[in-house]
Amino acid sequence: MTAVAEQTRTLTYAEAVREALAQAMTADERVFLLGEDVGTYGGAFGVTGDLVHRFGEERIRDTPISELGIVGAAVGAALAGMRPVVEIQFSDFTAQAMDQIVNQAAKIHFMLGGAATVPMVLRAPAGSGTGAAAQHSQSLEAWFAHVPGLKVVMPATPADAKALLLAAIADPNPVIVLEHKLLYKQSGPVPEAATPARLGEAAVRRRGTDLTIVATGVMVPRSLEAADELAADGIEASVVDPRSLKPLDGKSIVDDVTRTGRALLVQEAPKTAGFMAEIAATIGESPAFGHLRAPISRLCGLDVPIPYAPQLERAAVPQVADIVRAATDLVRRW
C-alpha cells in the first residue's frame, strides 16, 4: 500500500472490497458476512482476509457447503432487520441457490406490497482466466439482470469495487455484485472515505471521436489498453464502463455513441442472449440510431463452455488484440 494523494491510497481490488466490508461493519452492527471459508481461511480468493479476527465469528460466519442454505439464511436475516453480505465462492455456484435468489430475495418486497424489504448483498467471483475450467469460469450477469427485483453491478476498478459494494450494502433490496477474479490483484487509487457510489451511473473511462467501446468487468481494462494501441494508429476510441448493469445508465452510453457514430460492445460472456444485446437494443431504440455511421458490433466470448487448456481458455474470450482488430475493422470499413 502506498500513498497517492491526501485521502487516497493505492489498494488492490481485493483490499478495496475488504475495506468496504470493514467500514460497513464498523458503521452498522447489523452488517455481517456469511459464506464458505470466509472466516479463518479468509475467503477462496483471500478477499475477507483477517476480518474474522477483527469482528469475530458472530459477524464473519463460516457456513456449510450449501449455497441454497446460505442464501436462504441471508434472506431470512434480511427480513428480520439484518444486512447480510453473502460470499459465494464462484458465481457458477449461484446455480445451486437460484430459487432463493430469484423466487424469494427478488420477489418478496413486491409480493408483500412494499411491506418488507430484503437488504441482502450477494458477492461472487466471476469470469475466466484462472484455469478453473467450465464449472468455475462463467459470466452469468445476464441471468441476474433479467430478473425484476435484482440489481446487478460489475465493478472494474478498485475504487469502484469499494464504492459500489458500499452502495449495495446501503440498498434496501438485493444487489448482486460480480467481481472478476483477474481483477482481485489489480491496484489503483481508492478513497479512504466510505463514500458509496450511485447505482445506475456509468463511467466514461476515456473519450474519443471515432468510436465508442462499451465494456464490462475485466473487458474494461482490456478495452483501455486496446484504445491506447488504436490511438497509436490514429483511431480515437471512447471507453464507457456501465458499472451498474441494472439499473443501467443508458443515457451516458447513448450520448457517447451519438457523438462518435460507432459502437463496439465488448463482453466476456457468450454472445447469444448476452447483456451486450441489451446495450445494442438501448442504442438502437434511442435517437443515437440516427447518428450511426456503422452497424452496432458485438465482440463477445464464444458460445462454448470455458475450456481447461490455457491456450483454448484465452481463445474463448476477447483479448486486447481482438478488441483492436474489431475496432479497426469497424472504423476502416465504415
> How many angstroms separate the CA atoms of 196 and 164, rounded?
6
Q: Which residue has the cell 456501465?
A: 242
Q: How many CB atoms are closer than 10 A to CB 66?
A: 13
CB 171 within 8 Å of CB 103 = no
Active site residues: 67, 136
> How many angstroms separate the CA atoms of 44 and 36, rounded?
8
What CA–CA distances, in Å, run from 191 to 8, 122, 137, 224? Answer: 4, 23, 30, 22
CA dihedral 11, 90, 175, 32 (to 10 degrees): -70
φ/ψ of 49, rounded to 5, equals 50, -120
Phi-psi region of 37 (alpha: psi -120 to 50; beta: other; left: phi over 0): left
H-run or E-run covering 291: none
Is residue 96 helix, strand or coil? helix
Q: Report the alpha-carbon angle 204-209-210, nearest 5.
A: 110
What CA–CA distances, in Å, run from 41 to 17, 28, 69, 73, 84? Answer: 16, 24, 20, 21, 19
> How many angstroms separate the CA atoms of 226 and 161, rounded?
22
